[in-house]
Amino acid sequence: MSPARTPRDLELRHLRCFLAIAEERNITRAAARLGLTQPAASRTLATLEGTLGVRLVDRSTHHLTLTPEGDTFRVRAAAAVTAFEDALDVGRAGSRPLRLGHSWSAAGRFTTPLLRRWRRDHPGVPLELLRHDDRTAGLADGSTDAALLRGPVEAPGLVAVTLFTEHRVAAVPSDSPLAERTGLSLADLAPHPVALNPVAGTTTLTLWPAAARPTRALTVANTDDWLAVIAADRAVGVTSAATPGMHPHPGVAFVPLTDAPPLPVSLAWPDRTTHPALPALVRLAQEITAEA
């Protein structure tokens, strides 16, 4: 009888396989991406779960999802893989780009000052601004080192500091009578279908009082599709005040909302971060937003 495996027996391939499955939400696609057979990927995942003693993936539904333990482990596995790659990349250890993710609108009006100040103060470390259409803007799978996130930061394994808050605005078709108003309330939007982005957006129907919620919603996958359905007069939407400046659209008018709570904007990063320049980014982001 072979001895029981311990976490020390795990290899980098186990983590890479799990991260691919977590991103693809499909074992067959993850296996193809890694150059493995589907049974081999399944065995690798089973070995990882058996060694850790927890289920990381829920296979009980039609769509593969991560368990709460899987969500937590995803952040830590991504940090471990990044740390390993950094350790091997000795020649670039001091100059690897610092990858800053966002789902949309980045840091709003602070985006350009942040990028310019960073380039001036840290010329040896490029700051890459990367858009990811997911809730953690690339942090969950290790695609980014830090991220600008709107709304509550609830993903496990992340640390966050709130930089500032933004007012919310209504997004309506530019030829709608609503576009002629100087201000709108949530009640003004309730009779219309509302475009919602559950992948990376912050608006849900719970923004409205229970007795006055919209009865129709249109789900989209990203900001571009969100703008398109509003411009096509299929829905209205709610977003942050940064969106008009970062994503102007000729078919969409943005009108201030008078009764919606402000939206917090945070800088977040994994609690086991590996990029040595991250503390400098946190300090600079706080300095720039505090100067406004």
CATH architecture of 95-152+274-290: 3-Layer(aba) Sandwich (3.40)
In this prediction the pTM is 0.72
Q: Per-residue DSSP letters for 223-269?
A: HHHHHHHHHTTS-BEEEETTHHHHS--TTEEEEEBSSSPPEEEEEEE
Residue 93 pLDDT: 47
Residue 276 pLDDT: 86
Q: Who contacts 250 (Cβ-Cβ below 8 Å, separation ≥6)?
A: 174, 231
pLDDT in tens, 172-214: 999 999 999 999 999 999 999 999 998 888 999 999 999 999 9
Residue 268 pLDDT: 95
Task: Show the tokens assigned to 193.
Answer: 């279908």
Whether pLDDT at 29 is above 70:
yes
Whether pLDDT at 72 is above 90:
no
Distance in angstroms (rounded) separating the CA atoms of residues 280 and 171 = 36
What is the average pLDDT across 42-65? Answer: 86
Using 50, 70 and 90 to split pLDDT, how confident is the model at 2? Answer: very low
Using 50, 70 and 90 to split pLDDT, how confident is the model at 81? Answer: confident
Pairing of strands 146-150, 158-166: unpaired
Break the chain into its structural domains and give their ranges: 7-66, 95-152+274-290, 168-261
Residue 255 pLDDT: 98
Residue 34 pLDDT: 85
Pairing of strands 98-102, 127-131: parallel
Task: Show the tokens assigned to 100.
Answer: 């800053």
| 95-152+274-290 and 168-261 in the same fold | yes
Residue 77 pLDDT: 84
In 3D, which of 101, 104, 107 has the Cα closest to residue 130? 101
Residue 1 pLDDT: 40
Residue scoring higher pLDDT (120 or 60)? 120
Give the rounded percent of residues in the chain with a pLDDT score beyond 90.
Answer: 61
Distance in angstroms (rounded) separating the CA atoms of residues 251 and 74 = 39
Residue 78 pLDDT: 80
Compute the mean pLDDT over every residue in the chain, rounded to the nearest whole number. 89
What is the average pLDDT across 22-44? Answer: 87
Pairing of strands 194-196, 252-256: unpaired
Strand-pair partners of 173 = 252
The CATH H-level superfamily of 168-261 is Periplasmic binding protein-like II (3.40.190.10)
Class of domain 7-66: mainly alpha
Residue 142 pLDDT: 81
pLDDT in tens, 114-168: 999 999 999 999 999 999 888 889 888 788 999 999 999 988 888 999 999 999 9
Using 50, 70 and 90 to split pLDDT, how confident is the model at 258? Answer: very high
Task: Show the tokens assigned to 73.
Answer: 């482990």
